[in-house]
Each structure stands twice: as structure tokens, then as C-alpha cells.
Structure 1
Amino acid sequence: MPSQVKVVLITMFEPPGDMPGELSVIREREGLVPFELPGSGLKDLYRSPDGQILAIVAGVGTANTSISMMALGMSPELDLSEAYWIVVGIAGGNPNVCSLGSPVWADWCVDGDLAFEVDAREIPEEWPCGILPLGSKEPYGESSMPQELFGYPYQVYRLNSKLIERSVSLTKDIELYDNPEIAEIRNKFENDTATQPPRIQTGGTLAAARFWHGARHNAWAERWVDYWTGGNSQFFTSGMEDTGTLHAIAHLHRVKQANMHRVLILRTISNYTMPPPGGNVIDSLTGSDHDGEFPAHAVALENGYRAVSTVFRDIIKNPDVWASLSEA
């Protein structure tokens, strides 16, 4: 009989060497142990001693995560049909709406790679950017292209608002970690939002395999998320995987191997998506103007753990409550 799992934790980034990755803190604090899934081709799998929690390092980028999720979900060794899937990882943060170290529960997820694009040196003067929705004749214009042309669409997903509301309620008052070093980086920004200490927030997440950076790209991301969600969400976080992860889970849902209504995304801000006023975009991107590309890396990992552990413990403790929130 397949092993039933209550919670699947999906992480993506686990670098070699001494630098901790997205699963490191969770694995150590929860005592997760290595787990093998024969025939799946997967590595970097872990589970709790009681088998209720399964964790994976799915890889960086939409392609890696979608393949990993399909291999995991289709394994005959596991029953994930009623599991709760929680993405937990670091992210770039929009300094116009959030601050370094803050955990953000995603309400919508938008893909930033599926698009037409014109070289920046050839953009018409009247255009705000050179990225267009597939099938459109101008930025943020109406698309004439059927979504089915490229197979099942995965341009935009709305997550279960009831699960998000409970997650926010459970985590809004938890103590979050902060330190003077990232406070100093935050204070380089001029708006009150970016300079605030870490706090629980809710907003849209943008998934793009391109690690983009800069004020103009940030303005594009704000309008891109607004466009694809019909004004129902705002750009908060930038990651590299989540539409690939959701695309796979949506397919698993169709074949009754997963429940799409039981998915959460938690992204914690490890860096801003653009430099502070007067800052150099290349130095900001490469980390030359501070300690590495992800100046709030350690804070983001710690706060991500504090938030996600609060939620998965509640899922295990109160299964009936969560089941009632995940009904279609």
C-alpha cells in the first residue's frame, strides 16, 4: 500500500559547500532523514521519522521543478492525493511593497517567461517595455492567441484564498528574526515600506527563469502581475520556479494524484529586485555593493522556517479544519 503523506515541502535552492539552502534549516530543526524513492530518478528527498512530512529539493528553474513534481507525484510508492503542498523558498522582493526578511504568502502566481520580447535597443519610444503577452501587438495589450496553442496554459494561477487566510492568521504574530546588517540595507531605500523590519505579508509572486534585476524590470513586473491577474494581485516577490511547480501539480490534480486546492507558496525576501535610489544596478545584482547576491539570505531562511513550521504543524494537528478549507 502506498505511503500516505500529509505535507509536501517543496524547496528549490540547495547550494554545495557551507552556504545553507532552502531546506537546510527545516531539515535540521525537524529532524528530517534522507528518503529514497526507487525508480523516480529523484535525489535530495527527506521525510520526518513518522512519515507525515515529505521534503524535496526540486531544483532551480521552472523546468527542474515541474519534472521533479511529476516524478514525485506519479510514484506508486506514495499517496499524495490529499497532501498539502507548500513551496518554501527565498525570493527577490519588490521594495515598493515589502521589506528584506519578510515572509510573503502568495495569493496569485504569474509566469514571466511566456511572452513575446523585443530587444531593448529596438523598443519603440512610446512603449514602456519590450515584453508583450503572447499574441499581443503591444505591451499589456489584448492577446489574440488561444492559450491552448501552447498546450495547457500556465501563465497565471490563483491560490486557495481560504488556506492563505488561515496561514496568515496563524503566522501574523509570530516573532521574526532581524539583524542590523539588513536593516542598514533596507534604510538605503526612501519609502517607508522597504525600510520596515520583517513582517508577514500577502501578495503576488512572479516566476521567471531569467534572474532579472533593476528599476525598469521592476516596473514591468508590477504591471505584468496586474495585467495577468486582472488587477486582483500586486507584485511582491520574484522567484524562478513556481509556475512550473503549479503546472505539474495541476496536471497531477487532473489525474487524481494531487489536490490543487491544497497548495501554498511562501517566499521570504532575501534581496530586493532593484537597487536603492542612486545605486548601481550591476553592483546590486552581483552583490558587489553588499555581502553577496542575497544579503538577507540567513534571515530569509530563518523566517521562512518560523512561518512554514507554524503552518505545517497546524495542518497535522487540525486536519479536519484544513480539509474544510480545501473543498473545491
Structure 2
Amino acid sequence: MFNNKVLSLFALPLLMSGQAFADDAPIKVKVFIGSMFEIGKNTGDKAGEFQHWYERYFKNSQPITVKGAASPVFCNDDGVCGSVLGMGKVASSSSVQAILLNPKFDMSETYFMINGVAGTPPSRGTIGDVSWGTWAVDYDLGHRWAPEEGLHDGQAFIPRKGYENIRSYQLDPTLVAWAMKITDKTPLLDSEEAQKYRQRYPDDNARRSPKVLTGTHITGDTFFHGPGMSKEAQYIAKLYGADDYVATEMEIAAITQVIARTQGTTQRILSLRGSVNFDQGNPNETTLEHLDPAPGQTAGGFKETVDNIAKVGGEMTDYIVTHWNTWQNGVPPLK
């Protein structure tokens, strides 16, 4: 018969094996925070898009290297993970795909908080605004030509057939409504520099204080500027049946496509953007002058806006995590 000492020797490898299995279990991710760039370090210097998120959630987290992702992933004990994905459609979406397919993470129930800075048309937004995307619309995936070569419906763009299912995505309206309910009263930071800059524009929306709002986020790898390009972006949004265009950015349509392919749904995606510039100059400056301003003539408000993004997004993140029993199986009905 085996004595207790022998049984203990047999049991030890089994216990160690069980512990190893537990340690290797994938991290169940409740909320994934994806930013596009960081200026320097993740903490202690000038903040880019990720630093405030890192300081709020990941200061005590160790980096997890993911093959194919632009930067390490950080996760805390509450099931919140985040990473810097890279700017533009290809860099950001390939990072998301690498993270989603990595066995270190269980993202079967994850909410995606895709965020960053953006531009906004002065007719609809202002510096420091934070907007939740109701639609993700790709600015490309069509035919575009020089205006002098002939206009179609007043525009030099028509969509190309075959992209109907990936050129625009309506993000879950109930989830967006929840986000507004939780965050629309969030006090936003502002700066004297931005306040002065706004007065160059005649639009009421451009001149007001920043707020939380909703609308279409237009994705394009081109930094388009000028009233003509802004009008075209609005034209594309309306052509696809989307809401008014409020933010120009470079990633969300591509990231949404990757999530849709891998997760089979887009119902847990939040697009959050903070406006740091107008998409056109004021009536007294040319587009080139707007793109290359004289020293001291920039919009200002970048520091405050990246703080606003994380503040607004953090409120929604915390709400989901705190009420996980309600949110785990999907977006609950709006109360």
C-alpha cells in the first residue's frame, strides 16, 4: 500500500500541473481600450492618446508582448486591458487582429473602447469636444477624381460596388445611448488658447464650450482639410444613410471590420474621439495657411482634449466593469 509520503509525491506534480494550467488560462477581457499613438513614455511626460488610460488602469500592470501587434498589451485585475495600436487603417486593424487571435486573451465578451484625437467640422463641433460615434464610415472605397474633370451630384466621388457591407457600420444605438446617459454631463477641460482660437470661426458650434455629443466618425488615411473635403465627407455620410459627420479620424471603420470578422458582431464597439482641430480654416485663411499656421497660431487644447477623452471613456469603462453581471451577456436595455 502507498503511504502518505508516497501519495504526496504523486500529488505534487498534479498540483503543480493544475497551477500551471490556471496560470496559463486566458485573461477574460471585459473592456479593451485601444488608442492609436503615444508621444513618449506611457507615464511621466507629455501625454498622447494612451497615457491617461495607462495611469488610470495599468500603472501596476506588466506588458504582455503580442506577436503582430504594434505595442504590448496591459491588463489589470478587473479585466480591463489596453494597448497602443498604431495610426491608420492598416497599423491599427492589424494590431487588433493580432490581439484578438492571441490565445492569451479571452475576448468573447469584450467591449471595445476605440479612442483617440480627431478633427471636426466647425459647423458641428469645436476644440475639446468628445464624441461617441453612431456610425463608422470609410472615406475611401470608391472612385475619386479631380473636380475639373467633371462632377457627379456636385461631388468628385462615387462609391465602388462590392464594398456595401464594409464601407459603413452603424454602431449599436443602445450602447451609444448608454454611453451618453453615463457621460453626457462629464465636466470637460478647456484652455484659454482654444477659447481664443474658436472666435476666429463664425459658426455657433465652433465658438461654444466643449461638450459630449454623438455623430458619424469618418475614417480615412488622408488628413483631409478644407471646406470642400469637409463637404465631401458629409456627402458620403449622408449617401450611406449615416448621421451627421462630426469627427474625422483614421481607424474605426477598419477596426470595426476586423472585430466583425473575428467576433461575428459589432454590438460591443464604442468609438470615442476628442476634437483637437477643425477640418478647415476660418473664412479669412486659406487651407494652406490652416495646415501650416504661423508660430503661436495653432488651435491649442490638445492637452485638455486627451484628458477629456480618457475621463469620458473611463466613466463608461468603469460603469461596465462595475455592473458586469448585467453587461456580461450583452448590452442591456436602456433604463
Deviations, residues 93-126 of structure 1 (Å, cap 9, x unaligned): 1111111101000000100021101124x33267
Corresponding residue number in structure 2 for 1:147: 163
Distance in 2, matches of 1:195 and 1:325, equals 38
- 1:270 aligned counterpart, secondary structure: strand
Distance in 2, matches of 1:123 and 1:61, equals 29
Residue 65 of structure 2 corresponds to residue 37 of structure 1:
yes
C-alpha change, 1:77 and 1:31, in structure 2 (3 Å) is: closer
> How many angstroms does 1:3 deviate by?
1.4
> How many angstroms does 1:312 deviate by?
0.4
Q: 2:197 aligns with which of 185, 204, 221?
A: 185
Q: 1:284 aligns with which of 280, 285, 290?
A: 290
- 1:304 aligned counterpart, secondary structure: helix
Q: 1:321 aligns with which of 310, 322, 326?
A: 326
Distance in 2, matches of 1:127 and 1:270, equals 31
Corresponding residue number in structure 1 for 2:302: 297
- 1:190 aligned counterpart, secondary structure: coil
Residue 115 of structure 2 corresponds to residue 88 of structure 1:
yes
Residue 164 of structure 2 corresponds to residue 129 of structure 1:
no
Larger radius of gyration: 2
- Length-normalised TM-score, structure 2: 0.85
Q: Where in structure 2 are there 5+ consecutive unaligned residues?
A: 1-24
Distance in 2, matches of 1:290 and 1:157, equals 39
Corresponding residue number in structure 2 for 1:3: 27
Distance in 2, matches of 1:87 and 1:302, equals 15
Residue 251 of structure 2 corresponds to residue 246 of structure 1:
no
- 1:107 aligned counterpart, secondary structure: strand
Letter in structure 1 aligned against 2:145: V
Distance in 2, matches of 1:295 and 1:127, equals 37
- Length-normalised TM-score, structure 1: 0.87
C-alpha change, 1:271 and 1:7, in structure 2 (3 Å) is: same
Give the share of equivalent positions with the same residue, in percent: 23
Corresponding residue number in structure 2 for 1:237: 247
Corresponding residue number in structure 2 for 1:312: 317
Determine if contact 1:101/1:296 at 8 Å carries over to the other structure. Answer: yes
Q: How many residues align?
A: 305
Distance in 2, matches of 1:291 and 1:16, equals 24
Distance in 2, matches of 1:126 and 1:205, equals 24
Determine if contact 1:93/1:236 at 8 Å carries over to the other structure. Answer: yes
> How many angstroms does 1:8 deviate by?
0.3
Corresponding residue number in structure 1 for 2:212: 200
Distance in 1, matches of 2:117 and 2:83, equals 15
Aligned-residue RMSD, C-alpha: 2.1
